[in-house]
Amino acid sequence: MKSDHKKVISIAEFRYPPAAPVIPAQLETPSGLLTDTLARPLRDLRISVTDRCNFRCVYCMPKDVFTTDYPYLPHSSLLSFEEIVRVAQILVAHGVEKIRLTGGEPLLRKDVEKLVAMLSALRTPAGAPLDLALTTNGSLLARKAQALKDAGLTRVTVSLDALDDATFRRMNDVDFEVAEVLRGIEAAHAAGLGPIKINMVVKRGMNDAEIVPMARHFKDTPHILRFIEYMDVGNSNGWKMDDVIPSSEVVRRIHEQMPLTEIARRQTSETASRWRYRDGGGEIGLVSSVTQAFCSSCTRARLSTEGMLYTCLFASGGHDLRALLRTSRNDAEISSAVAHLWRAREDRYSALRTANTPASAKRVEMSYIGG
């Protein structure tokens, strides 16, 4: 019998209710600085380009929920590249400097390099190019790295949860081998998409024995390994606090074998804390969204595959920009609606996370909104 959390949650259920953005009577011209109720500017945009994936990572798209008859979004619901670029352009005028393409698996979206080329043509109000990144599971990267670089991508983050093949296959749950992801990382490096960040989600009892081997493997390379605390995103992964290995424990385990020193973050909005090897062997990052929330410096908005704007990864609903795009609203109206909703933003889910957060609270799935 399936446990309660494993019941199929349809997209219609977790995106409900999409809020209709308010278009203020008085339209405004963007100034390049938009702040929310906690004085956090809008600086980053994550765009999910597909809700589909060729992996079934146990912490993200568990196989018994994301079955072959799972109700993925129909093609007509997806934002077109033109629609995505229009939203991005409006948000860049409000201060967005970094865009990250994600998913699902973004390299599954047909012709994604065309979207990269279109986004790379955008400029900030000061005339600077954007920092344009992409997060991928690496399965198609060996084939696509050069085309992505040629299209104007700045850098990639590759997710890899283990070096041990059996452990990795258990995590991705589709029997995908480590070697092909490593080939993808090398191809991205050769194409100039570095420094490459490697994301490892740590789940207790699943891949924590891989913490030290992964650290050892990527030490003394140009790549930056980042350990991600397993998060309670969505409703389908059966998250429990006991499965989380706190970053402090990750650091302790590595430090015992390869001494580390903490170093300053480059920017306050950076999600990862940084530690360098004392022998000069490079650095690692720790993303501690469960044990050390970083909501006070969160400058990220997320655009879902079907054009809902989310102001928090843990939101239960988004703001329906697609409805505005498809009802002939002009850029000034959409821009003013975005300004109105960002100014009202008060999200700080991780900071407020408590042991008694109701398990039934509806949250959007990671594969829909992107990480």
Q: Sheet with 300-303: list strands edge to edge.
A: 260-263, 272-277, 283-287, 224-229, 197-202, 155-159, 131-136, 98-102, 44-48, 300-303, 308-310, 319-320
CA distance 184 to 140: 7
Over the window 124 to 153, marking each residue x when it contacts ligand SAM by CB under 6 A and - when it does not, the resulting string is -----------xxx----------------
Q: Please, which of residues 188-207 interact with ligand SAM by CB under 6 A?
A: 199, 201
Over the window 265 to 294, marking each residue x when it contacts ligand SF4 by CB under 6 A and - when it does not, the resulting string is ------------------------x----x
231, interface contact from ligand SAM, ligand SF4, none, CB < 5-8 Å by kind: ligand SAM
Q: Please, which of residues 159-188 interact with ligand SAM by CB under 6 A?
A: 159
Listed in sequence order, the DSSP H helices in the chain are 11-14, 81-93, 112-120, 141-151, 165-172, 178-191, 211-218, 247-257, 321-325, 331-343, 349-352, 366-369
**Which residue is associated with the tokens 């009577």?**
25
Residue 318 as a binder of ligand SF4 (CB under 6 A): the answer is no
349, interface contact from ligand SF4, ligand SAM, none, CB < 5-8 Å by kind: ligand SF4
For residue 129, say if its preceding peptide bond is cis, omega within 30 degrees of 0: no
Over the window 92 to 131, marking each residue x when it contacts ligand SF4 by CB under 6 A and - when it does not, the resulting string is -----------xxx--------------------------
Contact 137, 181 (CB under 8 A): yes
235, interface contact from ligand SF4, ligand SAM, none, CB < 5-8 Å by kind: none
100, interface contact from ligand SF4, ligand SAM, none, CB < 5-8 Å by kind: none
**Which residue is associated with the tokens 């920092």?**
131
| Interface contacts to ligand SF4, rule CB under 6 A | 53, 55-57, 60-61, 103-105, 137, 159, 289, 294-295, 298, 300, 312-314, 347-350, 367
